[in-house]
Amino acid sequence: MTSKQNSIHILGICGTFMGGIALLAREAGVAVSGSDENVYPPMSTLLEEQCVEILKGFKVEHLENNVDETKDKVVVGNVMTRGKPVVEHMLNRNLPYTSGPQWLYENILKDRWVLAVSGTHGKTTTASILAWILEYAGLKPGFLIGGVPENFGVSARLGDSPFFVVEADEYDTAFFDKRSKFVHYHPKTLVMNNLEYDHADVFPNLDAIKTQFHHLMRMVPGEGLVISNSEEANLDDVLEMGCWTPVESFNASAVEETNTGWSANYINPDGSQFDVLLDAKVVGSVKWDLLGKHNVSNALAAIAAARHAGVPVEHAIDALSEFKGIKRRMELRGEVNSIRVYDDFAHHPTAIETTLKGLRKKLASDATGNKIPAKKIIAILEPRSNTMRLGTHKKALADSLREADHVFLFQPEGLDWDMSDVLESLGDHASITSNIDALVINAVMSAHPGDQLLVMSNGGFGGIHEKLLIALEQKYQV
């Protein structure tokens, strides 16, 4: 790839997507700087390790000092809005600018075999699994993923083959381009994991999201492949709106003799071991470290996508046994006196529920499937996403948390709704606080050896994971 810019300055560089753009641009020989208000790991750490300059805040002088309008370009993240002084300065000065997705297509994806992973949930995990399968098969793919796969240690790289895996987000592109990000990617292989209402700050209803998925479908070539979850009626609606590409289906529920497409037979109920079936015939068996039906579904989709790129099924299955997971997806942050602290990105009710159910099944049986004494799950939730902050999913939130034995809800400043309704629905095994330090104290007091502390947030959550571990060490004088 040869970029037309000598350098780029990224507004909103610490978002997972824009941070990935920074890594790709730097690897391609482009000088990169960027600015952001929210600087926290893992992206801030990754960028610092790659010597990418991060300027704190969105200040006009950052553009004045870092952008030459004759040779450089501003890449604008979708966190930026009209009215921000830095945006108004950019427009008034007629500085050259583009969106992250458009920059990605023009400079990286245009001549690649793009394998795009879309859906409300599971995009990061499925894209990470797919990239690892291709890597394991020796194909050296490029990728841009909204997380950090442990097998790679970075969220993005150019790769050394025609193949490029991208996490295909339906969120809007930029303040000047309200199409979904994924319509810029022009995939040859498209995975559609699921489709629910989300991003209430962008989409008025579910039909609006279906329309964007339909626009994506219009870009998949006839010689490509669409891989769709047959359990999702909303995806069926998208396909019925128009499909000009062969479709393979996957379904992670119970196997039937009449099943077509990809399915699974659970050897272990927690999803850590299962047979892979194609058209109801066993083609291999997976034994890996991930848990839950949702991850089985992610694996089936990745195996199907990798096969389209030429990877034999048996090679893909072998790769899964060495897949190490993703940072912030049920990531074990530490253990004190047999109390484990997990970090998970779940922030939509469906993701919260499936994460909790996966952990519960893991705790309910040992490696041989025998039942073991119950352990307590303590869920700690920060409603940080735009949709959560608007209260769009508040009615579903309580039900999504019922698998937990105790729930600590954090009510941040600026939340547009009162979480007391959730508390009332959950009863006496839940509590709300607006103080992180108080939450840490109460959570640690309620925890006993063998319990699991599951922290769920799509932000930094005030460094709560380390605070919990330190408080546990003090409690048990470790």
Q: Is residue 106 part of a domain?
A: no
Give the three-state DSSP class for 475: helix
Residue 430's DSSP bridge partners are 407
From CA 54, how far away is CA 229, in angstroms rounded?
Answer: 39
Percent of the chain with pLDDT over 90: 61
**Predicted local confidence at residue 71, as pLDDT:** 74
Are 307 and 360 within one domain?
no
- Radius of gyration for the chain, computed over Cα atoms and rounded to the nearest angstrom: 22
pTM: 0.78
Angle between helices 436-446 and 464-476 (to 10 degrees): 40
Among 71, 99, 127, which residue terminates a domain? 99
From CA 284, how far away is CA 133, in angstroms rounded?
Answer: 15
Are 134 and 275 within one domain?
yes
Q: Mean of the per-residue pLDDT values for the chain?
A: 88
Q: Is residue 461 part of a domain?
A: yes
- The mean-pLDDT minimum among 39-43, 51-55, 327-331 falls in 39-43
From CA 463, how far away is CA 299, in angstroms rounded?
Answer: 31
Are 160 and 291 within one domain?
yes
- Could you tell me the two tokens for 338? 């047999």
- The mean-pLDDT minimum among 78-87, 129-138, 306-315, 400-409 falls in 400-409
Around Cβ 1, how many Cβ atoms within 10 Å? Answer: 17
Are 259 and 282 within one domain?
yes
**Predicted local confidence at residue 371, as pLDDT:** 47
pLDDT in tens, 410-439: 888 777 677 777 777 777 888 888 899 999
Are 286 and 343 within one domain?
no
Give the three-state DSSP class for 318: helix
Q: Is residue 107 part of a domain?
A: no
Amino acid identity for residue 116 in this structure: A
Q: What is the mean pLDDT of residues 144-166?
A: 93
Q: Label residue 243 by pLDDT band (50, 70, 90).
A: very high
Are 172 and 220 within one domain?
yes
Specify the higher pLDDT residue, 278 or 460: 278
CA 244 to chain centre: 28
Specify the higher pLDDT residue, 88 or 68: 88
**Residue 117: CATH number of its domain:** 3.40.1190.10
Is there a contact between 133 and 152 (Cβ–Cβ < 8 Å)?
A: no
Range of the domain at 88: 7-99
Position 168 pLDDT exceeds 80? yes
Among 72, 99, 126, which residue terminates a domain? 99
Split into its structural domains, the chain has a count of 3
Q: Is residue 79 part of a domain?
A: yes
Are 15 and 122 within one domain?
no
- The mean-pLDDT minimum among 141-155, 243-257, 288-302 falls in 243-257
Are 71 and 209 within one domain?
no
Q: Is residue 105 part of a domain?
A: no
Give the three-state DSSP class for 281: strand
Are 303 and 345 within one domain?
no
Around Cβ 365, how many Cβ atoms within 10 Å? Answer: 15
Specify the higher pLDDT residue, 339 or 255: 339
Q: Label residue 255 by pLDDT band (50, 70, 90).
A: low
**Predicted local confidence at residue 11, as pLDDT:** 96
Position 107 pLDDT exceeds 80? yes
Q: What is the mean pLDDT of residues 9-14?
A: 93
**Residue 11: CATH number of its domain:** 3.40.50.720
pLDDT in tens, 361-393: 777 754 445 444 568 999 998 887 766 666 666
Among 258, 290, 320, which residue terminates a domain? 320
Q: What stretch of H or E contains 390?
A: helix 386-390
Are 405 and 259 within one domain?
no
Are 13 and 75 within one domain?
yes
Measured in degrees and rounded to the nearest 5, phi and psi for residue 249 equal -105, 155
Q: Is residue 326 part of a domain?
A: no
Measured in degrees and rounded to the nearest 5, phi and psi for residue 396 equal -90, -10
From CA 8, how far away is CA 182, in angstroms rounded?
Answer: 22
Nearby residues of 297 by Cβ (< 8 Å), 6 or more positions away: 122, 193, 229, 231, 250, 251, 252
From CA 149, how far away is CA 378, in angstroms rounded?
Answer: 26
pLDDT in tens, 334-359: 999 999 999 987 767 888 888 888 78
CA distances from 276 to 227, 253, 285, 318 (A): 16, 12, 6, 12
From CA 238, how far away is CA 247, in angstroms rounded?
Answer: 12
Are 309 and 336 within one domain?
no
Measured in degrees and rounded to the nearest 5, phi and psi for residue 106 equal -65, -30
Is there a contact between 297 and 232 (Cβ–Cβ < 8 Å)?
A: no
Closest listed residue to residue 321, CA positions, set 252, 269, 273? 273
